[in-house]
Structure 1
Amino acid sequence: MIAVTGENMKAIDNYCIEKLGIPGIVLMENAALKVIKNIDLNKFNHFTILCGVGNNGGDGLAVARHLIVKDKKVDIFILGNIDKGSHDFMINYNILKNMNIPIKYIDNKKDLKTLEESLSKSDMVIDSVFGTGLTREVEGIYKDAFSLVNQKGKYILSIDIPSGMDSDTGKILGIAIKPNKTITFQLMKKGLVDNKNLAGDVIVEPIGMPKIAIDTVLNTNKDH
């Protein structure tokens, strides 16, 4: 099985979007549906979804929508400045707003109480804060929230990579979410191979990225 770096994955993503013309939002929707496929909906009914404001967070918001459509109880929390939301994150954010779905924001210690209340009631936490692009240490309110999720989450599923893990090396950047299961997209990430213990059960799901995109990028990288 090929394992790729975060940079490889970003380049493949960009090739699909810019060269092939597949809208990023289509890839995001495919990713969300693959996450749903890996959740036992007979067993899990109440979800706490923790989202960042990048595309990983957008995946989480799309997952939240599908769970809501299936009549599940979903508490959505956003960590980060909404004004810095990625384009596809904002599309999913606005859809939820148009559906009148309540969204909570974690900005300070007081907000962590609300998160803790949600964690005590929910039977699954979905982690979609940071994706494969994270390189800096996790600190501040993020660190507090991750610590709370690790302590109180009954079952944790991470989208693409556990938030706080370096996707290239598997190194923990200060603190990371410790999931029971990680659903990663299209290709295995090097960090998930190097730090299997943190990621729980890792499942690689294709999200419709054509072979030409993967081959072109990986062959290009070999040439350098």
Structure 2
Amino acid sequence: MLTISCEEMKSMDSYAIKNIGIPSIVLMENAALKVIKNIDLHNINSFTIICGIGNNGGDGLAIARHLILEEKYVDLFIIGNLDKATEDFNINLNILKNMGMKFTHITGEKDLTILKESLKRNDSTIDSIFGIGLTRNIEDLYKEVISLINSKSKNILSIDIPSGLDGDTGKVLGISVKANKTVTFHLMKKGLLDKEEYTGEIIVEPIGIPKKATDTILKRME
């Protein structure tokens, strides 16, 4: 199986957007739909979704929208400085707001208590906090959130990579989500190999990045 580094993945993504002309929001939508495809919608009816403010969080917001369209119950949580959110994150958050969706912005102990009750109550947890760009150790409120996810969830699905895992080395950056399933996008990341305790089952899903983008970047990285 072909495995790639985080830098290669980012470059393939960027090439598809800048050189081929695929809008980044289209790739995000494709990613969300591929995650929905891997959820047992017949048996799982309630979800806790925890999003960071980057594009991994944007994936989570798009997934939340599709679950609502499937008439599922969704508790949505966001952690991070909303003033620093990415453009595509904000597009998806604005859609949810226009649909009347409420969310809890995790900023302190009161919000952690709400999160804990949600995790215990709902059938499944979706981890959409950090993507492959994470390189620093997880601390403070983020650490508390991931600890709660691991201890209180019935079932955990991570988007692209479990939050807290280094996408290149597989090193745990202080703490990591321990997922039952990880849906990763385009190609397998090196850091996901032999980390089943954290990744659970790994499913690699294409999200519409053309072969030309993959081949060009792999040749450039030789």
Q: Which residue of 2 aligns with 1:144?
A: 144
| Deviation of 1:35 (Å) | 0.2
User: Helix, strand or coil for the counterpart of 1:134?
Assistant: coil
Q: Does structure 1 conserve the Cα–Cα contact (< 8 Å) formed by 2:178 and 2:197?
A: no
Query: Which position in structure 1 is the counterpart of 2:79?
Result: 79
Q: Which residue of the partner structure matches residue 106 of structure 1?
A: 106
TM-score by length of structure 1 reads 0.98
C-alpha distance in structure 2 between counterparts of 1:117 and 1:180, whole Å = 20
Quote how far apart the aligned CAs of 1:196 are: 3.1
Q: Distance in 1 between matches of 2:99 and 2:110?
A: 27
Q: Quick one: which amino acid aligns to residue 191 of structure 2?
A: G
Instruction: Give unpaired runs (5+ residues) of structure 1.
Output: none
Structure 1 position 195, deviation (Å):
2.1
Q: 2:159·2:183 contact (CA, 8 Å) conserved in 1?
A: yes
Aligned to 2:184: 184
Aligned partner of 2:168 in structure 1 is: 168
Give CA deviations for 1:57-82 in whole Å, capped at 9, x if unaligned: 00000000000011000000001011
Deviations 1:115-168 (A, max 9, x none): 011111100000000000000000010000000010000000000000000000
Per-residue CA distance 1:156-204 (angstroms, 9 max, x = gap): 0000000000000000000000000000001000000142332000000
Q: Which amino acid aligns with 2:4?
A: V
Q: CA deviation at 1:112?
A: 0.2
How far, CA to CA, are the matches of 2:48 and 2:58 in structure 1? Answer: 15
Cα distance between partner residues in 2 of 1:121 and 1:194? 31
8 A contact 1:48–1:122 mirrored in 2: yes
Indicate conservation of the 8 Å contact 2:51/2:57, yes or no. Answer: yes
Q: What amino acid sits opposite 1:118 in the alignment?
A: S
List runs of 5+ in structure 2 lacking aligned partners: none
Contact 1:169–1:194 (Cα < 8 Å) also in 2:
no
What is the 5 A alignment of 1:1-224? Answer: 1-222=1-222
Shift of 1:109: 1.6
Percent of aligned positions with the same letter in both sequences? 61
Amino acid at match of 2:70: K
Q: For the residues of structure 2 that align with 1:153 and 1:6, how far apart are their CA atoms?
A: 28
Tell me the SS of whatever aligns to 1:209. coil
State the Cα deviation string for residues 5-30 of structure 1 (Å, max 9, x = none): 11111100100001111000000000
The one-letter code sitting in structure 2 at the alignment partner of 1:192 is L
Cα distance in 1 for residues equivalent to 2:9 and 2:197: 22
SS in structure 2 at match of 1:148: helix
Output the CA distance in 2 between the equivalents of 1:61 and 1:37: 16
- Contact 2:3–2:188 under 8 Å retained in 1: yes
Q: Give the TM-score taking structure 2 as reference length.
A: 0.99
User: For the residues of structure 1 that align with 2:9 and 2:50, how far apart are their CA atoms?
Assistant: 23
RMSD of Structure 2 on Structure 1 (CA) = 0.6
